Structure formats: structure tokens, C-alpha cells
Structure 1
């Protein structure tokens, strides 16, 4: 089981906070450091220091880390033109020496779009599909040739399709719980299919839909990595579990039901359940980015049992 750290910096983390957590995760041997792509805090609380741009942040982390993989879960198709996104991601991949992964989705948080003056169309799935066609098409275009695209949402003419990522292909992550369109999109474009904060009873059914979509598309379902993201709240004892739950405004019992929470033995049981459902990669959402000892505990008590 791969264990990755997943953060929500828009909730109140600076670049330095993210760098500290990424470096600690790298030193401890976590597989990757991922962040959300949001520009507005969700819920009440101190708005400082304000948001950080995901790809600007990842570019900085690419130069200040050396082994850990980096990516978004997930970038919003509403925020960036796909021709520019392809350049940004390829550049950060080069800056990292080939350690970047692109999670891409439709976007959902309408309020942040209004706050930033970004259009938020009612129908966004077509935008996402076109963006995937363009980004992958640009990267796959041989050097010396040009790329063209004429679609409902975007038009590219005689693009030199440069720069190229270091990785070929660069891994793309597609997630969501849709029963038909999302599985087909994952089968067509993704290296990884992710379910973020799913009902645990639905995980197996959704994986089955994605596997069926792969078979329908003539792709081996085993080519895909199947992953899930859950809030993590691990404590050496019940008092520590409660303290960490309080720090993120959650209840321990609720986190046990919907996340990966409890003592190390309890969390190991939860991870074993995920493996039985077909999950081979977990994103541990660490909401308190000042609590680096949380990562220390997971690395010491859980990682050796699942690696």
C-alpha cells in the first residue's frame, strides 16, 4: 500500500508550512506530497495567510525536495487554460526531475470562483474532457510537429507543443463518483483512478464500474492504480486521537467511521479493509499542517506494516 500525504493549504497554510511538511514527508519515506487546488478557505476561521497557488507552490517544492513525488488532488479545469496548464505542469516536472503527477477535475467550489472573478459554468464535464484531450495531445505530439484542436470550449492552432515533461507519459489522476462518464474518462486518460472521501461501502462498486469501462475501451483494468483519500487522525492513545480530532474541528467517532482514525492498530485495520476492496494507494489528508509529529507517528507505527 502506497501512503501519500494530502493537504488543504487554503485552510490556513503558508508556503513555508507546506515546505516543512513536504520535507518531513520525504525524510520519513512517504510516497508523495499532494495538495488541493483552491483559492478560498472553506468554513469559518482565520483567513490568514491567504491562499497559495498550487502549481507555483509545487514548482518551489520541486526545487527544495529531491525524491518525493508531487501533485494536485485535484486541479480545477476552470482555473487554467489547457494550453498553459500543459506548459506549467511540464515545466514543474522538469524542475523536479520527473516527480510530478497531474490530478485534474471539473472544479466544484462556486464561491471561490466568484471571489476570484473566475467563470463557473453550470456544465463543466465537457471542459474537463477537452482539457484532457489537449494536455495529453500536446505532450504526445512529436518534437518538430504542431498540435491543433478545435472543440466546443477551446481552439488551438499550430501549437509547437512544447515543452515536454520529463516523464513519458506523465501520470494523470482522475477521480469522482460518477457512475458512467467519470469511469469512461479514467479508462481513456488516467494512470490512476481516485475516490476522495467516499462512502466505504461504495468503493468496491465504483472500482467495478471503472474496470468495466476499461474493458469496454479495450484497456487492461490492471493498468490503473486504484486509490482513495481519507482524513487521517492517528494517535498513540485515545487522548491523542481526541486532541488531534479537536484540532481540526472533528469528532473521533465520526472520523473513525468516515476517515482513517484511531490508534495505529485501528488505522491498520482500516488500511487492510481498503486493500480488500481493491485500493492500493491511500492519500492521508492531514488537515493540521503544523502537526508534523502526526506524520512521525504514522511513519513509525503504520508505514512499516503496510510497505
Structure 2
């Protein structure tokens, strides 16, 4: 099982905090460093020192790391136009030597859109825009060198786009689509994604979501298209410790009111996390994104690296 760390810098983390965390994750043997793409915290606290832009941060981390994979979980389709986003991600992929992944979703947190003047259309339109962005992004990256890309859709029109720069990975950086939605999300993942991610749900809920995306892959004929099978991944909220008191201390932020939907965290010993990952593996998970709450708590990251990773196949 591949194990990445997932962070939420909008809760309160500077670039230097993220750099320390990413370097330590790389040294500890983690597969990837992923971060949320938000411009505002979801509770009542402001999340000092304030937000850091996801793709600016990943571009810098691309030059300060050498092995670990880098990406978003997830960028909101409302934040950026698909053409410029394709350029940004391709450039960061080049800067990293081919280590970037793009997680992208429809967007859901209205408050940050209002705060920063970002249009927030109704849910149906956001998903329509996401679908069209996925078509544009993958289309641009797969355009042969010397050719141009054209697209005329409901929301975006591209004419004679040179489809440059080319990403280091071909046919493009892996695309991650995920979420809890029962219909459109699995279909979009089946059509466009390389990885389907289920965020922070129970093992049974995760298995049910995998079943839905497998059915969607069958409906769209993914197996006959020559594309690789979807990577099935899961997000897991983690608060573990060497003692129960240490685990409870790390879990304390989970009790603060938030706009996030209900989650199923792992609170307790490293062995409890190993057991949960084993259950997820039995459900079909081949990659996990561990959400560690506090980027300043480097001891938490080191504990997972020392006590959990060595017990999992394929992490080192």
C-alpha cells in the first residue's frame, strides 16, 4: 500500500511549516505530500498566518524535494480557468521532474468564495464546469507536440491552444477525482481520472463508493479503452500516540465545530492505524492519504513513519 500525507495549511501554516513537513515526510519514506486547496479556514479561527496558494506552494516544494510526489486534494474548479491551470500544473510537473498529481473537484465551501470574490454557481453548474475542465485539462496535456488544441463547450472555448508547456509525465500528470457523491463523481472519475479517492469515510462507506465507481467504469467502457484501471484510494484522519493521552491531545481539534462533513478518524495507538489500513486494503484500497492535523507536530509524522510504515507492504 502506498501511503501519502495530506495536510490542510488553511488551518494555520506558513510555507516554511509546509517545507519542513514535506522534507520530513520524504525522509520518512512517505509516497506523497498532498495539500488542500483552500483560501480560508473552516472554523471560527482565522488560521494564522493566513492562506498559502496551493500551486505556488507546490512549485516551491518541487525545487526543495527530490523524490516525494506532490499534489492537491483537491483544487476547486471554481478557482482557476482550465487553460491556465493546465499550464500551471505542467510547469510544476517539469519543475519537480515528473512528481505532480492534480486532484480536482467541483468546489463546495461557499464562505471562501464570498470572502475572496470568487463566483460560486449552483452545484449542478459547478459539476458541469468540473466535467468540462477535466476534458480541457486532459485534452491539452495529450495534444501532440506541434499540434494545437480546440475546444468549444458550454463554459469554455479554446482556439488554437499550443498545449504548452509539456508536462514531464506523459500523457500527463495523474488526475485524482473523488468525493462522496453517488452519481456524477464516480462517472467523472471513470471517464477522466487516474485515481478515485474516498475522503475520510468508514471502511464500509469506502467500499460502497468503490463499488459505485467500478460500476461507472463498466458503463463508460473504461476497460476496453486501453486505459489503466483506476487507483482506489482513501483519506484517513489520524490522531495516534504512544499513549492514550497523547492520542487524545492530537484528536482534540476534531471536536471543534467545522463546515466539514462527518469523518471516521483513527484515534489511538499506531497498531490501531495499521489495523484500519489493513481493513481498507481488504476493501480494495491501494493508496491512502493520511490527514495529520497539525503541521507543527513533527513528532506525529515521525511516529507514523517509524511505527506504521514498516508494517505495510510497498511503502519503502
Structure 1 residues 246 and 202, CA gap change in structure 2 (3 angstroms): closer
The more displaced of 197-206 and 216-225 is: 216-225
The more displaced of 39-48 and 286-295 is: 39-48
Aligned to 1:272: 278
Scaled by the length of structure 2, the TM-score of the pair is 0.92
2:248·2:267 contact (CA, 8 Å) conserved in 1? Answer: no
Aligned partner (choices 139, 142, 157) of residue 141 of structure 2: 139
Measured after TM superposition, the shift of residue 188 of structure 1 is 0.9
Taking the aligned partners of 2:58 and 2:47, their CA distance within structure 1 comes to 22
Structure 1 residues 9 and 260, CA gap change in structure 2 (3 angstroms): same
1:163-219 CA distance string (max 9 Å, x none): 111001320000012222211111111110001122432211111111111122222
Aligned partner (choices 164, 167, 190) of residue 165 of structure 1: 167
1:100-157 CA distance string (max 9 Å, x none): 0000100000010011101001121010000000011111111111111111111111
Aligned to 1:285: 291
Q: Number of paired residues?
A: 302
The more displaced of 175-184 and 71-80 is: 175-184
Aligned to 2:8: 8
Q: Tell me, which stretches of 5 or more residues in structure 1 are unaligned?
A: 252-256
| Partner SS, residue 169 of structure 2 | coil
Taking the aligned partners of 1:44 and 1:103, their CA distance within structure 2 comes to 26
Aligned to 1:202: 205
1:177 matched to 2:173: no
Aligned to 2:26: 26
Taking the aligned partners of 2:46 and 2:85, their CA distance within structure 1 comes to 31
Structure 1 residues 265 and 61, CA gap change in structure 2 (3 angstroms): same
Aligned to 1:228: 234
Aligned to 1:112: 112
Aligned to 2:43: 43
Taking the aligned partners of 2:126 and 2:202, their CA distance within structure 1 comes to 24
The more displaced of 95-104 and 45-54 is: 45-54
2:194·2:228 contact (CA, 8 Å) conserved in 1? Answer: no
| Partner SS, residue 198 of structure 1 | coil
1:204-251 CA distance string (max 9 Å, x none): 111111111112222239711101112111111212111212355569
2:141·2:166 contact (CA, 8 Å) conserved in 1? Answer: yes
| Partner SS, residue 230 of structure 1 | strand
What is the Cα-based RMSD across aligned positions, in Å?
1.6
Scaled by the length of structure 1, the TM-score of the pair is 0.95
Taking the aligned partners of 1:270 and 1:241, their CA distance within structure 2 comes to 16
Taking the aligned partners of 1:53 and 1:280, their CA distance within structure 2 comes to 29
1:248·1:288 contact (CA, 8 Å) conserved in 2? Answer: no
